[in-house]
Amino acid sequence: MNRSAESGAAAESSAAASGAAAVIWFEDETGEKKVLVGKESKYVSDIFANTNFSDDDRALLNVLENLTIDDDISYVKTVCGERANELEGIIQEKNILEDTRIQYDTPEKTTINTNEGNKPGYKVKYRYLPNDFKKGIIKGGYKYTDGNTLETIMREIREEVGMNIKPTEISSKIINCLGYDVYFIQIPHAHIKTFENAINSRKQRRIGEVYDLEFTKLSTIQSELNIYNEKSKCAINKFVEKHGGKAKTNRKTNRKTNRKTNRKTNRKTNRKTNRKTNRKTKTKKH
């Protein structure tokens, strides 16, 4: 699908779709398909509503979420990383989470209301990993600043992976799954390492809605599909319908390899059998 057709399809579907999701995948040297998936987080503000936290804890969170910093985004992200570490310490003391890592969404530039009046700053949402987390692909809701759901998923990939995807890199048509438009994006082998490096960089800096993003075997995903969120389940099932599991070429290669192996094994077995038979025959003659 060319760029104009892809954009047109996205614009046409955005009126009905409330968001977008992406099945980002590649096929390894064995023909095994691998899909980018991770663990879904929740807002720290949700868990701070728990009775285990005090009013002082909640007041601190409010301060940490509203940064009155008028600086460039790279410095703001450094500050967010430090504050995520501070929140982590508070949560560890409560002993209510198996995994106490705290991450944060990309800070949004805004105006912060303070006792001294409105000040320029950033709004930040911090995230935690619940004990009963679900897994999923990259997805997100449509925002008014998105021209269509194609722009929605491009923004989500930028925020979660730190990579810019062009419309021409979308490798398949749009499929609606439970109100979300789903895009299939095949990553060229030459770009896989770049993707993985970007993911690891954001993980180290605590950035992102999805925890522990990694390319996972499609067969593994299918075997544990019950722990995936509903939209991801729908998207993965659609992907399997379109692209299947292992490549057919791989099955052919395996059949050829097996035939060769069997022929070699049979030849060795026959030679051993013949040698034994010959030895027995000679013994009888003597």
Structure tokens that stand for 252 in this block: 């052919």
Dist CA 126 CA 128 (whole Å)? 7
Q: What's the confidence (pLDDT) of residue 249?
A: 39
pTM: 0.78
Q: Positive or negative CA dihedral for 28, 33, 35, 39?
A: negative
Contact predicate 147/12, CB 8 Å = no
Q: What average pLDDT does this structure show over 129-136? A: 97
What dihedral do alpha carbons 153, 157, 159, 161 form, nearest 10°? Answer: 170
Kindly tell me if the per-residue pLDDT of 160 is higher than 90.
Answer: yes
Q: What's the confidence (pLDDT) of residue 244?
A: 79
Q: What's the confidence (pLDDT) of residue 153?
A: 93
Kindly tell me if the per-residue pLDDT of 265 is higher than 80.
Answer: no
3-class secondary structure, 228:
strand
Please report, as a single letter, which amino acid is at residue 112.
I
Q: What's the confidence (pLDDT) of residue 61?
A: 95
Q: What average pLDDT does this structure show over 239-255? A: 62
Query: Other CB atoms closer than 10 Å to residue 185's CB: what's the count?
Result: 19
Dist CA 147 CA 7 (whole Å)? 10
Task: State the average pLDDT for the chain.
Answer: 84
Instruction: List the one residue out of 21, 50, 22, 27 whose CA is nearest residue 248.
Output: 27
pLDDT tens, 20-73? Answer: 999 999 999 999 999 999 999 999 999 999 888 999 999 999 999 999 988 888
Structure tokens that stand for 91 in this block: 């949560």
pLDDT tens, 182-220? Answer: 999 999 989 999 999 999 999 999 999 999 999 999 999
Which residues lie below 8 Å from residue 243, measured CB to CB, with a gap of 6+? 25, 33, 184
Instruction: Give per-residue burial for 121-148: e unless 16+ CB within 10 Å, then b.
Output: bbebbbbbbbeebebbbbbbebeeebeb
Structure tokens that stand for 89 in this block: 């310490």
Q: What's the confidence (pLDDT) of residue 238?
A: 93
Which residues lie below 8 Å from residue 48, measured CB to CB, with a gap of 6+? 57, 58, 61
